[in-house]
Structure 1
Amino acid sequence: MDALAGLLDGPRARGAFMIRACFDPPWAVRVQDEAPLTVMLMARGTCWITPDADGVPVRLGPGDLAITRGPDPYTAGDAPATAPQALILPGGECRYPDGTSLNGSMDLGVRTWGDRPGAATVMLIGTYLMRGEIHSRLLDALPPLLTLPAEVWDCPLTPLLAQEIVRDEPGQEVVLDRLLDLLLISALRVWFSRPEAAAPAWYRALADPVVGRALRLLQDDPAHPWTVAALAAKAGVSRAALARRFSDLVGEPPMAYLTGWRLALAADRLRDTDLTLDTIARQIGYGSAFALSTAFKRVYGVSPQEHRAGRAAAAVGLRAAPRVS
């Protein structure tokens, strides 16, 4: 499995929060929605984003793209000093700074929100509402805020997203979800090619002719009864050489990596499917539901059943919550 494809394999955007935000200065919005990931594309004007994590404002101009990694809050505005005029809370709930609701008061049409459609600043925003466990290995390596300037970011998806985000046609939600997935993957491909990007160790290790081969074997066929010796034979090196090289490049031994990968797959399948625990166990390489349940609880602190119930409750809460569009 390709490393970037692995980011969105399984739990893809489903009913992602998509909006075109239109503002005239002075304006500022504080975002406290706890969303795992938000992609912002500047269609017109400029914006300053200030993440709480380090408090360093970053300027975006036309064509620039930003990705914020939750759940840390951040503020977006025409200038770093502008006081927030709105708060975005979990579930897309929108309030004035004093806590009173403003849901509906700034609606400007289909997925459009703000001051007026022809405002000086227009941002195309897509927010992933749920965090899948497979994502964690990559998302945890991202900074709270990463940006791509227009000079290195020339994506043909930009005009298409601008057209589609304001349409109200059958199947439109699915179209926007897939566009958001493609936009994110395209942006991360550019980001990880840049020197300032701190790619996770396992991602960098995929380029190694020996360890990369072993990683792909583990990722593509987690149900296989892998051993270090079997992986070494496939990679064409000794058992000791693979174990040492794998640990040096990935940061953990091959079997520890496999355990984490299997449990991440289990977490996603518990959330996204109705498969029985026994079926999931067989699919990912555990001999029984009991063995998977024991390993899952040891790592995640909850049983598979509790994990599934908690994800379902969270999804119901997100569907029930009001949105700004």
Structure 2
Amino acid sequence: MDALTDLLRGVRAQSALMCRAFASPPWSVRYPGPAPLTAVMTSHGDGWLIAEGHQPMRLRAGDIGLVRGPLPFILADDPATPLQLDTGLPGCDEWVSGTRTYRFGAEGTTLVVTGSYEVEGSVSDRLLNALPRAFVVPCGPCGTIDLLSEEIAKDRPGQESVLDRMLDLLLVFALREWFDRPEANPPAWYRALGDPVVGPALRAIHDEPGRTWTVVELAERARVSRAVLAKRFTAQVGVPPLTYLTEWRMSVAADLLAKPDATVHSVARAVGYRDGFAFSTAFKRVRGVRPSDHRVVALRA
């Protein structure tokens, strides 16, 4: 399994909020940006992505921008264009199959599309923590963006699922481009997955977080001695193998706790704890809150 596939495991849009805006220059649209992750793109025409705390970023047709919320942002034909529309205010020109449509300007020569992962848990914490707050990647000609632009206007059975899967695909395209860039700063474990010694141990932990791993067993997976694995693992990942195991279990647990049908007990068993008290203690030590409190907040979001 490659590093990006591992990072994307469990990422799945659920009733994503789609929005499109037809505009002619000058145009400027504000988005409140409360969602955990929002993809932005222009199907026709160019624009700028302007996020709080960031320099304006050019968004050309075929590019994909990602905004990690909560973070308000503006899409405009020029950074200097005064704001003309705030999508956070009530009202839109059209609402079809969960997609909001806005039209302003004389001809609407530019089509701006956004898709937001609205549901907590549909994007894992480990992915969000690996990303900057806002960035743009040049993906070149992308048929998926054009297809999304066409599908987003339809009102057919299964439309919500079609749009969700298209958004997932665009996210993969964007992240693949981003992590190949020199300015990307992925987490240490992401880079270490490609190491011939540390990689097998990491994949074993990721694949079976509920197993009672020992350093000896992980070293056997890597085909090295216990001492060699411990030293190399700590140097590349930043923490010893069993410390990482605990942190990874809590990351998995945090995602599982956000699922409506989960319980603290079932999550504890899934990540290798037979004792709910021991799990709660570990979760609070690593995440700073009790699992029950984390679950309440996640389900309310």
User: How has the CA–CA distance of structure 1 residues 116 and 176 changed in structure 2, closer, same or farther, with 3 Å as cutoff?
Assistant: farther
TM-score by length of 2: 0.90
Residue of structure 2 equivalent to 1:70 = 69
Secondary structure of 1:310 counterpart: helix
Contact 2:67 2:133 in 1 (8 A): yes
Residue of structure 1 equivalent to 2:275 = 288
Residue of structure 2 equivalent to 1:277 = 264
Secondary structure of 2:258 counterpart: helix
CA deviations on 1:203-239 (whole Å, 9 max, x unpaired) are 1111111111111000001111111121112101121
Q: Which amino acid aligns with 2:91?
A: N
Contact 2:12 2:123 in 1 (8 A): no
The one of 228, 237, 241 equivalent to 1:241 is 228
Contact 1:28 1:82 in 2 (8 A): yes
Residue of structure 1 equivalent to 2:35 = 35
The one of 135, 144, 162 equivalent to 1:175 is 162
Secondary structure of 2:43 counterpart: strand
1-structure distance, mates of 2:214, 2:206: 14
2-structure distance, mates of 1:49, 1:161: 20
% identity of equivalent residues: 48
Secondary structure of 2:176 counterpart: helix
Superposed displacement of residue 134, structure 1:
7.0
CA deviations on 1:72-128 (whole Å, 9 max, x unpaired) are 32222111111222334xxxxx22xxxxxx423x33766322327951211221111
Contact 1:297 1:304 in 2 (8 A): yes
Are 1:144 and 2:133 counterparts?
yes
Q: Which amino acid aligns with 1:142?
A: L
Q: Which amino acid aligns with 2:103?
A: G
Residue of structure 2 equivalent to 1:259 = 246
1-structure distance, mates of 2:287, 2:24: 45
Q: What pairs up with 1:6-17 in 2 under 5 angstroms?
A: 6-10=6-10, 12-17=12-17
Contact 1:11 1:272 in 2 (8 A): no
Are 1:192 and 2:179 counterparts?
yes
Residue of structure 2 equivalent to 1:85 = 84
1-structure distance, mates of 2:33, 2:213: 41
1-structure distance, mates of 2:10, 2:64: 25
2-structure distance, mates of 1:144, 1:293: 30
**Structure 1: runs of 5+ lacking an equivalent:** 89-93, 96-101, 315-325
**How many residues of Structure 1 are paired with residues of Structure 2 in the alignment?**
299
Superposed displacement of residue 52, structure 1:
1.5
Secondary structure of 1:272 counterpart: coil
Q: Which amino acid aligns with 1:216?
A: R
Superposed displacement of residue 181, structure 1:
0.8
2-structure distance, mates of 1:294, 1:58: 43
Q: Which amino acid aligns with 1:107?
A: E
CA deviations on 1:117-162 (whole Å, 9 max, x unpaired) are 951211221111134397222322322222222xx43433223212
CA RMSD of aligned residues (A): 2.2
Residue of structure 2 equivalent to 1:115 = 104
Q: Which amino acid aligns with 1:83?
A: P
User: How has the CA–CA distance of structure 1 residues 154 and 247 changed in structure 2, closer, same or farther, with 3 Å as cutoff?
Assistant: farther
Residue of structure 1 equivalent to 2:3 = 3
Contact 2:36 2:70 in 1 (8 A): yes
Contact 2:35 2:117 in 1 (8 A): yes
2-structure distance, mates of 1:144, 1:266: 24
User: How has the CA–CA distance of structure 1 residues 114 and 300 changed in structure 2, closer, same or farther, with 3 Å as cutoff?
Assistant: farther
Superposed displacement of residue 30, structure 1:
2.4
2-structure distance, mates of 1:258, 1:154: 41
Q: Which amino acid aligns with 1:75?
A: I
The one of 202, 205, 215 equivalent to 1:228 is 215
CA deviations on 1:165-187 (whole Å, 9 max, x unpaired) are 11111221111111111110122
1-structure distance, mates of 2:300, 2:115: 23
Q: Which amino acid aligns with 1:223?
A: G
Q: Which amino acid aligns with 2:236?
A: L
Superposed displacement of residue 7, structure 1:
4.0
Q: Which amino acid aligns with 2:3?
A: A
Secondary structure of 1:275 counterpart: coil
Residue of structure 2 equivalent to 1:319 = none
Secondary structure of 2:94 counterpart: coil
User: How has the CA–CA distance of structure 1 residues 108 and 295 changed in structure 2, closer, same or farther, with 3 Å as cutoff?
Assistant: closer
Q: Which amino acid aligns with 1:65?
A: I
Contact 1:271 1:308 in 2 (8 A): yes
User: How has the CA–CA distance of structure 1 residues 127 and 188 changed in structure 2, closer, same or farther, with 3 Å as cutoff?
Assistant: same
User: How has the CA–CA distance of structure 1 residues 280 and 121 changed in structure 2, closer, same or farther, with 3 Å as cutoff?
Assistant: same
Are 1:204 and 2:203 counterparts?
no
Residue of structure 1 equivalent to 2:299 = 312
User: How has the CA–CA distance of structure 1 residues 11 and 183 changed in structure 2, closer, same or farther, with 3 Å as cutoff?
Assistant: closer
CA deviations on 1:226-273 (whole Å, 9 max, x unpaired) are 111211121011212111211221122211221121112212222114
1-structure distance, mates of 2:228, 2:59: 47
Q: Which amino acid aligns with 1:200?
A: P
Are 1:60 and 2:59 counterparts?
yes
